Amino acid sequence: HAQQEWWRSAVIYQVYVRSFADGDGDGTGDLAGVRSKLPYLAELGVDALWFNPWYLSPMKDGGYDVADYRVVDPAFGTLAEAEKLIAEARELGIRTIVDIVPNHVSDQHPWFRAALAAGPGSPERELFHFRPGRGPGGHLPPNDWPSQFVGSTDPVWTRLPDGDWYLHLFTPEQPDLNWAHPAVRQEHEDILRFWFERGVAGVRIDSAALLAKDPELPDFVAGRDPNPFVDRDELHDIYRSWRAVADDYDGVFVGEVWLPDAERFARYLRPDELHTAFNFSFLSCPWEADRLRTSIDTTLAEHAPVGAPATWVLCNHDVTRTVTRYGRAETGFDFAAKAFGTPTDLALGTRRARAAALLSLALPGAVYVYQGEELGLPEADIPRESIQDPMYFRSQGTDPGRDGCRVPLPWAADAPYAGFGSRQEPWLPQPAGWSAHAADLQAADPGSMLALYRAGIRLRPVFGTGPLAWLPSPEGVLAFARADALCVVNLADTPARLPAHSRLLLGSGPLDEEGRLPKDTAVWLRA
Ligand code: TEU
């Protein structure tokens, strides 16, 4: 029965609404734009859509600064339209996942405004982490915690004119909530119910390992366990109560749990906690056969005991786009290594990204596809004067930030703004040549990335829902079987022979003249 749960082997498409499609022509993507592209998403064959936050927000961090969780931002549409979208998608067999941001709110959220107005020592301030400063006159921040924007040396505390400091792991416009306060817990359970009542099938939990804080807010000591603000035991009690809410609606969770330790990560996936979590170890893994195989084996081994399905993620709105990453000397992802002007071989990166698409679609578990990944979009170079991401500003301009993977999508080669919108320029500039990636061109081209994703998603059921069995293979070659199908990926310098008597189902690129699998190519075979 467990195997019939849709989320165990789903293909889930991530929609960054602001950059997906601009229905009203004002330069910002919106729900009207998404609704107009539902046929495209149905044809792609995805099972669900995960929407980045679409709630009322001053957009200081792309909507991860929420002023009201029960209101859709007017730039995107209305609550009624969101409900329509959820229903229309469901009619096409596509479920909806919304994104909840429990660690912090916008500084424009009514709770934080009330806390500011009420002053030091007030009950309103207890919903957040307000503290007096240290040192003479309280001029030093209450502790030394590092910013969660890697590359930023900003303090995570901001001082108010009344002398109190407040904690914000991200920007000063994103004050952290106090999860030890019962009202914070109650409010979020109500928010979950609010969205489940509106027909959503699942919830992504933003920064899921950060909510709980050591009440003493002690200084950070590297390596000390427990960490004062990451992966604290209190979180598991929170997620157990969330799970009870989700179970009332058959809803599912996907947690954004960035934790290097596989065993600690798996604790969030226990049967009464989160159903799934993003696999960032796979996303961060370099394009090397041994490392990938270890990442896959570790992932499967850590998920099996808790009975949770693995997820396979290559990209999202926070990381360097796949074809660019795989076209660089350092093919793994590392926030700390992001830099301007990194040399990139896009042809190579694209070849590898095609192979990686077939690899991830063949693995047991759920697969995430970030909008534009199916078009093979590269990371864009955003001119400094156009960058919007707070990560760039918080790094004092040393880190390019995350806008390069958030550029408005190209839909039509011959339309203004590559078919993203109409009247006004897109909120982030599209680089020269962007229309060459347009969805309409790719839909007509059997050799395109879009054609590969469509075929891969359609054929993927040949792998069944069972486990994988590795097959003997030469060094640098990954080969495994599931059900009646085989997946072979060659990362070695020499072409690889394919098993005799197998039938080719799909390839990420052509075989050589002798029928062998070239470097950086993947195939699916029928045994
Ligand atoms: O990201 C949380 C997070 O910790 C990282 O993905 C973050 O981008 C990284 O640590 C940078 O150093 C989530 C969202 O995905 C991201 O877009 C938001 O900016 C962040 O939360 C704050 O809400």
Q: Is the pLDDT of residue 2 over 70?
A: no
User: What pairing do the DSSP bridges indicate for beta strands 55-56 and 68-72?
Assistant: antiparallel
| Distance, CA of 260 to CA of 168 (rounded, Å) | 23
Mean pLDDT lowest for which of 3-7, 165-169, 293-297?
A: 3-7
Pocket around ligand 1: residues whose beta carbon is below 6 Å from it?
A: 61, 64, 101, 148-150, 170, 206-207, 256, 258, 317-318, 335
- Extract the tokens encoding 327: 């076209």
Which tens digits make up the pLDDT trace of 22-67? 999 999 999 999 999 999 999 999 999 999 999 999 999 999 999 9
ipTM > 0.85 (yes/no): yes
Catalytic residues: 206, 256
Q: At what angle do helices 182-197 and 234-247 cross, to 10 degrees?
A: 30
The CATH number corresponding to 110-167 among 3.40.50.2300, 3.30.540.10, 3.90.400.10, 3.20.20.70 equals 3.90.400.10
Which tens digits make up the pLDDT trace of 118-137? 999 999 999 999 999 999 99
Q: Residue ranges per domain, the chain? A: 2-101+278-457, 110-167, 468-526
What average pLDDT does the chain have?
97
Q: If you take atom 23 of ligand 1, which residue's CA is the nearest one?
A: 64
Q: Is the pLDDT of residue 102 over 80?
A: yes
* Torsion sign across C-alpha atoms 351, 355, 357, 360: negative
- Of the candidates 372, 404, 49, the residue with the CA atom closest to the CA atom of residue 204: 49
The pLDDT value given to residue 340: 96
Mean pLDDT of 358-382: 98
The pLDDT value given to residue 329: 97
Q: If you take atom 17 of ligand 1, which residue's CA is the nearest one?
A: 318
Q: Is the pLDDT of residue 440 over 60?
A: yes
Which tens digits make up the pLDDT trace of 56-100? 999 999 999 999 999 999 999 999 999 999 999 999 999 999 999
Mutating to test ligand 1, I would choose from 69, 153, 207, 399 the residue with most ligand atoms within 8 A of its C-beta, which is 207
pLDDT tier at 4 (50, 70, 90 boundaries)? confident
Backbone torsion region of residue 23, taken as left when φ is above 0, otherwise alpha when ψ lies between -120 and 50, otherwise beta: alpha
Q: Is the pLDDT of residue 151 over 90?
A: no
Superfamily of domain 468-526: Golgi alpha-mannosidase II (2.60.40.1180)
Q: If you take atom 1 of ligand 1, which residue's CA is the nearest one?
A: 207
The pLDDT value given to residue 150: 82
Give 347's contacts (C-beta < 8 A, 6+ positions apart).
Answer: 327
Mean pLDDT of 313-333: 98
Ligand 1 atom showing the smallest separation from residue 390 Cα: 19
The pLDDT value given to residue 3: 47
Q: Is the pLDDT of residue 393 over 90?
A: yes
Which tens digits make up the pLDDT trace of 472-524? 999 999 999 999 999 999 999 999 999 999 999 999 999 999 999 999 999 99
How far is ligand 1, taken at its centre, from the CA of residue 468, in Å?
32
Ligand 1 atom showing the smallest separation from residue 207 Cα: 2
Mutating to test ligand 1, I would choose from 156, 206, 335 the residue with most ligand atoms within 8 A of its C-beta, which is 206
Q: Is the pLDDT of residue 325 over 50?
A: yes
The pLDDT value given to residue 124: 98
How far is ligand 1, taken at its centre, from the CA of residue 207, in Å?
7
**Would you state the CATH architecture of domain 2-101+278-457?**
Alpha-Beta Barrel (3.20)
Give kind and range of the element (H or E) at residue 293: helix 289-303
pLDDT tier at 354 (50, 70, 90 boundaries)? very high
Which tens digits make up the pLDDT trace of 172-204? 999 999 999 999 999 999 999 999 999 999 999
The pLDDT value given to residue 1: 42
Mutating to test ligand 1, I would choose from 152, 169, 318 the residue with most ligand atoms within 8 A of its C-beta, which is 318
Backbone torsion region of residue 93, taken as left when φ is above 0, otherwise alpha when ψ lies between -120 and 50, otherwise beta: left
The pLDDT value given to residue 527: 85
- Model pTM? 0.98
Q: What angle do CA 66, 68, 74 make, to 5 degrees?
A: 90
The pLDDT value given to residue 239: 98
pLDDT tier at 466 (50, 70, 90 boundaries)? very high
How far is ligand 1, taken at its centre, from the CA of residue 1, in Å?
35
Mean pLDDT of 379-394: 96
Using DSSP, state whether 96 is helix, strand or coil: strand
Which tens digits make up the pLDDT trace of 253-279? 999 999 999 999 999 999 999 999 999
How far is ligand 1, taken at its centre, from the CA of residue 330, in Å?
22
